[in-house]
Amino acid sequence: MKRVVITGLGVVAPNGTGIDAFRTALKNGESGIRFQQQLQDLNLTCQVAGYPTADQALLDARFTLEQKRNMNSVMTYGALAAIECWQNAGLALDPPETDWGTGTVFGTGLGGADTIGDRLAPLTREGQSRRMGSSVPEQAMCSGVSAFIGGILGLGNRVTTNSSACATGTEAVLECYRHIRSGLAERMIAGSSECDSPYVVSGFDAMRVTARRGSDAPERASRPLSATASGFVPGAGAGALMLESLDSAQARGARIYAEVSGAHFNCGGQRNGGTITAGNPESVRQCLRAAVAESGLEIGRDIGYINGHLTATGGDAKEVENLLEGLCLPPEKLPWINSTKSMIGHTLGAAGAIECVATVLQLHEGFIHPSLNCEDVHPRIAPIAKSIPHETVYTPLRAALKTSFGFGDVNACVVFRSMN
Amino acid sequence: MDREQVKAEFLAMIQPFVRKLKADDMHDNTLLVDDLDVQSARLVDIILEMEDKFSIRIDDEPKNGNW
């Protein structure tokens, strides 16, 4: 089995487009959540969201006229992140030939919801399908983002989109890790993306799981771990990680951020307390134990930081309890734990990838970003309060655990190990 | 609008889609797909733009089987 390392990172996050901006925002505890007039106009309960910005100069530099005409937000975010990741890995853009040794698993939760809602559905209903133009299928299809990236970068190995709700991005890392480990590719871009359409927000708003408060102070609206959390703040964006065999990375002298040393993905079968929206506790614990066991590392001695799923819903307390039970830890022994969602909201299908990028950055550079808006820790979470940083902590880290849990009772955990 | 004006409008319209040669190097017999490497899927978009620009309706099937 080949060893797998991370040699490139790319991100389009609500609090920073590009790795440099994202890193600065994480260290400074900067929120990317803003009031969204469109959500108020549509009479949604949640009127704040974390949407990235990408200025026109960047779009003009990255994409051709034809591409700009035919891409929606999930494709734009994903491609920007993937292109940055590619260049961050030291690879030249626009290779003339197909790269048979490199592929991508680039996921999404809701794909081209904006294209479907704004063009496909209304024009079809009006009997005007002839006016749609040529690019609706490639924008609406779930694999649109991976297909778009594959064409830009000339990828010739596996090119596909996965979809596992909020676990999508972390699952993509796992899939790429296993693909390279098995010798089926030298490099894989693992990532995920989610669009910034109100059609994404409205469904969750109807479920009453989005934040009901915060329009007057958007940066305080996303409150994972807090006693006054009122639901998750929706977000959008993309994250990308270049996974590469250690042999290939060393042969070309690539910078190595970290090693993927363990990973696991499972489902609770929606039994034993698990439902479409809630996790089967036993499956969560098994996933945690399996990922850590595969890594050969120990919590505490090696794994000094956990990037939680932690969405600011009623699931936060259960997640902490599952961590303690699954990893057999007394509360005082839980390593540092934070929620990147406190700064960027819940970017849904993009969450796992953006948060894996955050995890690797913190591991590589030896810092732990603050978990915002949880000064009033939930009473059931209080036993681990000392593990929650409210300001940036600077400390060397040997390894970190990323956890993601999604609708469908699915769980994904990855352990990253420092190569320093 | 005379022929040269129409041609100029058309060349500007297809510029985003042309991947080989410059639109200025075209002549009347230049084929969009074979010579200019326009993606065949995008011909639909060019047709829609032409219909809007020139207030015409273009049949969905090409006359001689060539675009």
Q: How many residues make up chain A in this entry?
A: 420
User: What is the domain partition of chain B in residue ranges?
Assistant: 3-54
Widest CA span in chain A: 64
CA distance A65 to chain B (A): 5
- pLDDT per residue over A364-403, tens digit each? 999 999 999 999 999 999 999 999 999 999 999 999 999 9
Query: Residues A338, A309: contact at Cβ < 8 Å?
Result: no
A69 part of contact set with chain B, CB < 8 Å: yes
Q: Whole-model pTM? A: 0.95
pLDDT at A135 over 70: yes
Reported confidence tier of residue A406, pLDDT bands at 50, 70, 90? very high
Say how far residue A110 (Cα) sits from the centre of its chain.
Answer: 14
Give the residue, A323 or B59, on which the prediction is more confident. A323
Residue of B nearest to A68 (CA): B16
The answer, yes or no, to whether ipTM is higher than 0.95 is: no
B42 part of contact set with chain A, CB < 8 Å: yes
Least confident range of A105-114, A217-226, A229-238, B50-59: B50-59
End-to-end CA distance of chain B: give it in Å, rounded: 23
C-beta atoms of A133 and B15 within 8 A: no
Q: Nearest by CB to B48, from A64, A65, A133: name it.
A: A133
Nearest Cα residue to A22 out of A11, A33, A31: A11
C-beta atoms of A69 and B15 within 8 A: no
**What are the Cα distances from residue A68, in Å, to A79, A353, B33?**
11, 24, 20
**Domains of chain A, start order:** 10-251 (3.40.47.10), 262-417 (3.40.47.10)
Q: Which residues of chain B have a CB within 8 Å of the CB of A71? A: none
C-beta atoms of A135 and B17 within 8 A: no
